[in-house]
């Protein structure tokens, strides 16, 4: 069955035309006809909870049960009981036997949100369900079978959780059969404006008032903000503006009042967590540090070259050998420079030309964008246009490199 991405957006209320967002929807549609496990990653507030519903509704299990579980909201002492059920008297308060979510969702789909927050003991039980379809209720020794499609999601880096010993590596690879990444709002370009317009219309109908609109300078502010809370934050801010602002046309200054820590531009910032590269929160910040190191290296190189040019133009260094100095100056000790003295100015004598320093040192640009473009061009030239090798050279993902090439129109 061929499904149009636009039809999926209309059905599930997805707003935006970002290529990465469309790619995520396309993967969800392709994997829906299978029973493969799916791991959805993305920052909090990006809308990860919509994609399990897409997969379920376009699968053969669409008539079965769909259960969404927030693993981070269930206390550690009761999570096993919630997921796998328990027998009567298995713990204090267990006055009756109870089915767990995996038993209730038999033949359907279960969505485990914030799966990285599960306790390690529960992760072992989950791994067994994924591999064999078997589980045991709390307080029982009887093995039960279930046929459930598992879709998981997390807003943290699972690799870091594995390194910290808080997430099982075997469970990660079992869940990550098909990965789907949801891009953050700040990387979705003009989708921010589309979402604001949609939310403004929704709230105008809800509160029976004219919808708010943005001036051109306010649109610039909206698109330059980093949106740490993503779509959820944008929706909340749009609702605040719709209720509080009397003027229905919102300018930049009015909008900034609702944007915490607005800095005007998306510049990277160093986060003081340590001395090593792990203290940086993004690839862009790492690149920023590399550029500063490169600038220092270039300054050192220019100093060396400038000294070499001075030597070639007759400005010889003062040597410690006094006899050599006298010989160079015609046998006289008068005017012999000492270390630290200014270098002598050469005069036209005999047939030796006068050399003048006509070098102009241009002030080096500190534009981060120009430095990024320069580094990307050099990496692509070095690897004959092979983006995978160029991305590895730059220390960024191939997807990020592709976005940069498109953003800066690099040919």
Q: What is the pLDDT of residue 325?
A: 42
Judge if 129 and 191 occupy the same domain.
no
pLDDT at 156: 93
Q: State percent of the chain over pLDDT 90.
A: 58
Q: In terms of domains, do 222 and 171 share one?
A: no
Q: How far is the C-alpha of 23 from the C-alpha of 250, rounded, in Å?
A: 33
**Whether residue 249 sits in one domain with residue 131:** no
In a domain, 335, yes or no: no
Among residues 231, 256, 281, which one ends one of the domains?
256
Which of 84, 92, 73, 151 is closest to 121 using CA atoms? 84
User: Which of 231-240, 274-283, 345-354 is most confident?
Assistant: 231-240
- Say whether both 41 and 153 belong to one domain: yes
pLDDT at 351: 52
User: Distance between alpha carbon 284 and the CA centroid of its chain, in Å?
Assistant: 9
**Geometric angle at alpha carbon 132, from 147 and 66, rounded to 5°:** 25
Which whole number is the average pLDDT over 39-44? 96
377 pLDDT more than 90:
no
Higher pLDDT, 113 or 285: 113
Mean pLDDT, all residues of the chain: 83
The band of 285, judged by pLDDT with boundaries at 50, 70 and 90, is low
The closest of 157, 121, 151 to 136, measured between CA atoms, is 121
State the first-to-last Cα distance of the chain, in angstroms, to the nearest integer: 38
Confirm whether 144 is domain-assigned: yes
Task: For residues 206 and 148, state if they share a domain.
Answer: no
With respect to residue 363, please indicate whether it lies within any of the assigned structural domains: no
Q: Which of 45-54, 271-280, 377-386 shows the lowest mean pLDDT across its residues?
A: 271-280
Structure tokens at 97: 């036997």
Between 17-31, 88-102, 242-256, the lowest mean confidence (pLDDT) is in: 88-102
Residue 222 lies in a domain: yes
pLDDT at 321: 46
In a domain, 191, yes or no: yes
Report the CATH number at residue 225.
1.10.8.60
Q: Is the domain of 249 the same as that of 135?
A: no
Please tell me whether the overall predicted TM-score, pTM, comes out greater than 0.75 for this model: no
The answer, yes or no, to whether residue 264 has pLDDT greater than 60, is: no
pLDDT value for 1: 53
Share of the chain above pLDDT 70, in %: 79
The answer to whether 217 and 251 are in contact (CB under 8 A) is yes
61 and 196 together in one domain = no
23 & 125 share domain:
yes
Nearest Cα neighbor of 5 from 27, 26, 31, 33 is 26
**Interval 218-241 mean pLDDT:** 95
The number of folded domains in the chain is 2
Residue 174 and residue 193 in one domain = no
Same domain, 86 and 209: no
Same domain? For 101 and 25 the reply is yes
Average pLDDT over residues 120-126: 95
pLDDT: which is higher, 357 or 89: 89
Which of 150, 167, 183 is the endpoint of a domain?
183
Q: For residue 270, what pLDDT is reported?
A: 45
Q: Grade residue 250 by pLDDT with cuts at 50, 70 and 90.
A: very high
Would you state the structure tokens that stand for residue 210, as one six-digit string? Answer: 């004219």
Model pLDDT, residue 411 = 75
Using one digit for the tens of pLDDT, what is the confidence trace for 124-179?
999 999 999 999 999 999 999 999 999 999 999 999 999 999 999 999 999 999 99
Segment among 25-34, 103-112, 300-309, 373-382 with least mean pLDDT: 300-309
174-215 pLDDT, tens per residue?
Answer: 999 999 999 999 999 999 999 999 999 999 999 999 999 999
Please give the pLDDT value at position 286: 64
Read off the CATH number of the domain in which 176 is found.
Answer: 3.40.50.300
- Give per-residue pLDDT as tens, 325-375: 444 445 444 444 544 455 454 444 445 454 444 455 455 555 677 888 888
Q: State yes or no: pLDDT of 276 exceeds 60.
A: no
- Same-domain pairing of 252 and 109: no
**256, 273, 304 — which closes off a domain?**
256
Domain extent, residue 195, equals 186-256
What's the pLDDT tens digit per position in 132-146?
999 999 999 999 999
Write down the pLDDT at residue 282: 53
The residue ranking higher by pLDDT, 217 or 351, is 217
User: Which residue in the block uniquely carries the two structure tokens 């003991």?
Assistant: 121
Q: Which two tokens stand for residue 161?
A: 């959780």
Residue whose pair of structure tokens reads 């589309």 in the numeric block: 194
């Amino acid at each position: 069955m061929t499904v149009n991405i636009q039809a999926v957006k209309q059905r599930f209320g997805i707003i935006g035309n970002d290529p990465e967002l469309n790619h995520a929807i396309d993967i969800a549609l392709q994997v829906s006809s299978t029973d493969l496990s799916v791991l959805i990653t993305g920052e909090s507030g990006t809308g990860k909870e919509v994609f399990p519903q897409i997969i379920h509704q376009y699968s053969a299990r669409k008539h079965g049960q769909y259960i969404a579980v927030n693993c981070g909201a269930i206390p550690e002492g009761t999570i096993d009981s919630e997921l796998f059920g328990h027998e009567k008297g298995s713990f204090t308060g267990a006055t009756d036997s109870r089915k767990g979510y995996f038993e209730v969702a038999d033949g359907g789909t279960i969505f485990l949100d914030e799966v990285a927050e599960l306790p390690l003991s529960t992760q072992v039980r989950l791994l067994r369900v994924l591999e064999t379809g078997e589980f045991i209720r709390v307080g029982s020794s009887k093995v039960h079978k279930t046929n459930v499609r598992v879709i998981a999601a997390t807003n943290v880096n699972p690799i870091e959780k594995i390194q910290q010993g808080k997430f099982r590596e075997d469970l990660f690879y079992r869940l990550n059969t098909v990965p789907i990444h949801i891009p953050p709002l700040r990387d979705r370009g003009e989708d921010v404006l589309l979402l604001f317009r949609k939310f403004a219309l929704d709230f105008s109908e809800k509160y029976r008032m004219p919808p708010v609109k943005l001036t051109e300078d306010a649109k610039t502010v909206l698109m330059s903000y980093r949106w740490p809370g993503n779509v959820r934050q944008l929706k909340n801010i749009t609702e605040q503006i719709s209720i509080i602002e009397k003027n229905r046309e919102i300018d930049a200054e009015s909008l900034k009042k609702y944007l915490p820590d607005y800095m005007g531009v998306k510049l990277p910032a160093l986060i003081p967590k340590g001395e090593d590269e792990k203290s940086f929160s993004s690839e862009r910040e790492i690149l920023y540090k590399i550029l500063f190191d490169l600038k220092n290296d270039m300054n050192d190189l220019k100093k060396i070259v400038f000294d070499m040019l001075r030597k070639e133009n007759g400005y010889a260094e003062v040597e410690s050998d006094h006899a050599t100095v006298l010989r160079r100056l015609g046998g006289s000790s008068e005017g012999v420079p000492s270390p630290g003295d200014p270098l002598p100015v050469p005069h036209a004598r005999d047939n030796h030309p006068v050399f003048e320093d006509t070098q102009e040192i241009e002030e080096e640009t500190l534009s981060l964008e120009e430095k990024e473009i320069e580094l990307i061009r050099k990496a692509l030239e070095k690897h004959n246009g092979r983006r995978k090798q160029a991305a590895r050279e730059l220390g960024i993902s191939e997807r990020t490199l592709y976005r940069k090439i498109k953003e800066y129109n690099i040919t």
